[in-house]
Every structure is written in C-alpha cells, then in structure tokens.
C-alpha cells in the first residue's frame, strides 16, 4: 500500500514560482496568495522532508542543492499533470490522444508526412505513431487493432472485417535491373518466361497471422529475400538480382543510369492502393486526418 507523500502539487507550484520570481513576495503576487501562505507551505515541506530547500542570498531566495533536485524532478511532474489534464479534456471532447498509422512500404512516405505535419499543427496534443508494413501486414495491423489507420495498403480489401477503405491511387510497378545486368544488354521487350533464369529480389510480407501474400514473384527464379522496400531497391541497385519496383520511387535512379527499366511483352497492370480504418473508430482526430489525406491524394 502506498503511503502519502509530503510533496504535493501545490508545494511544487509554490517552489516553481519562488525560484522563477526570486522571492516569496513576487511569487505570492504571481499565485495570488499572501507571502506568509507560501512561507508556511515551504516550511511545512522542509520539516516533513527534514531538508532545507531555500537559502537567502541578499534579497533573493535561492534553492539549495536538495531544493534544485526537488524542483527539477517536480517540474517533470507538473508537466505530466498538465499533459494529463489536456489529454483528459481532449478525450472528453471526442478527440484521441494518439493515432497509430501503418504505411505500406510500397508508398512514398514523403507526402504522407507532409499531411501529418499539417494535422499536428492543428492538433499539437495528439501523438502520432507510424510503422512500416508490407502487403498483408498492413491489413493485419488494422484487423488486429494494432493501428487506427493504414495508408497505401494494396488491393484486395479484406471483407467482413469491419473495414472502410477508400482508393487513393494506383501504383505502376516496373521490372528493373542494375545497369550492368545481362537483361539490360538484350533486345527488348522481354517475355516474362525468360526471367526465371535470373535471381530475383523479394520483400517478405510482414503479416504474422494472416496468410502472407506474394505479389509479382518471378516464378522459377532463385529468390533473394529482404524485409523492406528500401532493402529491395538497394539490392537491385547493387546487382544482387532483378525485381519489380514502384516506378515513381526509382525514377531518380533510372534517370542517373544506376537502374534500367526492362520493357516486357506483358506489362503489369496498375495496382490499387487504399487508406482504410475500422468502421467502429469514431475518433474526431482520425476523421480529420483521413479527410486531409483523402483531399491530398484526390
């Protein structure tokens, strides 16, 4: 069982005011109290802790080392109390204190962060937690309530899971190779059956419990597995293997000649991407954020 502490919020507020204003009289004016009331609070605290918190230096009241320690740590408590009060009021008004987001690695994260930055300017008391997922991992994170919102999740949208999804765009994937790769030297377009003899780079699906998906796998080829799209880009650029990548994300590497896009006889169709959330999530913060995202991507 916890015992009551002599250190109260009121005492910390008084110590903070005295240290900031430099005297009991000035602190009393700030707190709308009489100086004797502040002296009583400090003296009582000193007696209960058996320490000296202030010492006189001329007309100023200066903290002792013990007093400095108490105030430094006490200000953390005061800040936490203020945050707790703000969060409680935020929740009472229907706003969340934290929104968790899963972004599929296939999506360019830069514009997402721009939108989130605008949201945080409006709602500075709401925390944002962003994690990266791959393929079914994005949907799994939402289904299992690990996140409140997924951005850039690929089709198909899971059915009968209480999910609302809005299409935010299409993704065009292209086959790319290192500039010195054998495929970059042969006549194009290439038949996809010819790709099986080359090692391909594959990103693991981040799903843990849902059935993992494999998208644009080059059947019959030897595989080199990585855990993120950035690793896949790096591996292909280094010449480890070939693979499909979002055209927009590797445009600069193509322009500077590090990667070469291979034209195929049967090009891949565009892939639909979504933002999605649970229908039961009625938070005002989530509503505002997804409206900002929808406006941006539309």
Q: Give the integer Cα–Cα distance in Å for 206 and 132.
A: 9
Question: What average pLDDT score do residues 118-139 get?
Answer: 89
**Does 258 share its domain with 178?**
yes
* pLDDT interval class at 102 (50, 70, 90): very high
Burial of 59: CB neighbours in 10 Å, binned 0-12, 13-18, 19+: exposed
Which of 96, 134, 138, 146 is closest to 289 using CA atoms?
A: 96
Q: What count of Cα atoms within 13 Å lies in the side-chain half-sphere of residue 13? A: 11
Residue tagged 């300017």 (tokens):
121
Q: Which tokens hold the place of 81?
A: 């109390």
Least-confidence region, from 131-135, 243-247, 282-286: 131-135
Query: Is 3 inside any structural domain?
Result: no
**Does 155 share its domain with 281?**
yes
**Does 289 share its domain with 158?**
yes
pLDDT of residue 217: 64
- Non-local CB neighbours of 82 within 8 Å, separated by 6+ positions: none
**Does 87 share its domain with 211?**
no
Domain stop point among 92, 116, 140: 92
Question: What average pLDDT score do residues 40-67 get?
Answer: 87
**Which CATH number covers residue 198?**
3.40.190.290
- CB contact at 8 A, 171 and 181: no
* pLDDT interval class at 6 (50, 70, 90): confident
- CB contact at 8 A, 135 and 215: yes
Which of 31, 8, 9 is closest to 21 using CA atoms?
A: 31
pLDDT tens string 223-279 = 899 988 899 999 999 999 999 999 988 999 999 999 999 998 888 889 899 999 999
**Does 60 share its domain with 46?**
yes
Which of 66, 76, 22, 23 is closest to 45 using CA atoms?
A: 66
Query: Is 2 inside any structural domain?
Result: no
Q: Give the integer Cα–Cα distance in Å for 29 and 44.
A: 20
DSSP code of residue 47:
H
* pLDDT interval class at 291 (50, 70, 90): very high
Query: Is 1 inside any structural domain?
Result: no
Query: Is 158 inside any structural domain?
Result: yes
pLDDT of residue 212: 44
Phi, psi of 48, deg, nearest 5:
-70, -35
pLDDT tens string 162-212 = 999 999 989 899 999 999 999 988 888 988 888 888 999 988 876 554 444
Name the pTM for this structure.
0.65
**Does 70 share its domain with 127?**
no
Domain stop point among 60, 92, 124: 92
How many domains does one find in the chain? 3
**Which CATH number covers residue 133?**
3.40.190.10
| The pLDDT of residue 2 is above 60 | no
Full strand arrangement of the beta sheet holding 259-262:
243-246, 173-178, 259-262
Higher pLDDT, 135 or 267: 267
Q: Which tokens hold the place of 279?
A: 């229908």
The H or E element containing residue 20 is helix 9-21
pLDDT of residue 143: 92
* pLDDT interval class at 136 (50, 70, 90): confident
Taking the C-alpha atoms of 249, 255, 257 and 258 in order, what is their torsion angle to the nearest 10 degrees? -20
Tell me which residue range forms the domain holding 67: 9-92
Give the pairing type, strands 163-171 and 271-278. Answer: antiparallel
**Does 50 share its domain with 198?**
no
**Does 23 share its domain with 72?**
yes
DSSP code of residue 256:
T
**Does 108 share its domain with 135?**
yes
* pLDDT interval class at 73 (50, 70, 90): very high
Higher pLDDT, 2 or 297: 297
**Does 166 share its domain with 279?**
yes
Q: How many CB atoms lie within 10 A of CB 42?
A: 21
pLDDT of residue 219: 63
pLDDT tens string 205-221 = 765 544 444 555 666 56
Question: What average pLDDT score do residues 67-96 get?
Answer: 82
Tell me how long the chain is: 298
Question: What average pLDDT score do residues 21-26 get?
Answer: 86
């Amino acid at each position: 069982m916890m015992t009551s502490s002599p250190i109260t919020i009121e005492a910390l507020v008084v110590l903070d005011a005295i240290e900031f204003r430099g005297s009991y009289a000035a602190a009393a004016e700030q707190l709308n109290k009489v100086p004797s009331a502040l002296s009583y609070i400090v003296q009582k605290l000193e007696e209960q802790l058996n320490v000296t918190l202030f010492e006189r230096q001329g007309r100023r009241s200066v903290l002792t080392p013990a007093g400095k320690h108490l105030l430094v740590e006490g200000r953390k408590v005061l800040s936490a109390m203020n945050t707790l009060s703000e969060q409680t009021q935020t929740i009472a008004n229907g706003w969340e204190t934290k929104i968790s987001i899963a972004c599929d690695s296939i999506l360019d994260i830069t514009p997402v962060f721009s939108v989130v930055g605008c949201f945080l300017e409006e709602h500075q008391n709401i925390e944002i937690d962003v994690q990266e997922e791959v393929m079914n991992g994005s949907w799994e994170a939402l289904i299992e309530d690990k996140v409140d919102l997924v951005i850039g999740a690929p089709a198909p949208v899971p059915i009968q899971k209480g999910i609302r999804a809005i299409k935010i765009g299409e993704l065009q994937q292209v086959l790319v190779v290192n500039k010195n790769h054998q495929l970059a030297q042969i006549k194009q377009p290439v038949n996809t059956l010819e790709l099986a003899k080359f090692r391909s780079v594959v990103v693991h699906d981040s799903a843990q419990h849902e059935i993992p998906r494999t998208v644009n796998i080059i059947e019959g080829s030897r595989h080199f597995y990585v855990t993120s799209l950035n690793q896949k880009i790096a591996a292909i650029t280094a010449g480890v293997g070939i693979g499909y990548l979002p055209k927009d994300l590797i445009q600069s590497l193509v322009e500077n000649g590090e990667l070469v896009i291979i034209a195929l006889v049967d090009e891949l169709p565009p892939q639909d991407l979504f933002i999605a959330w649970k229908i039961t999530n009625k938070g005002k913060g989530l509503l505002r954020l997804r409206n900002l995202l929808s406006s941006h991507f539309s």
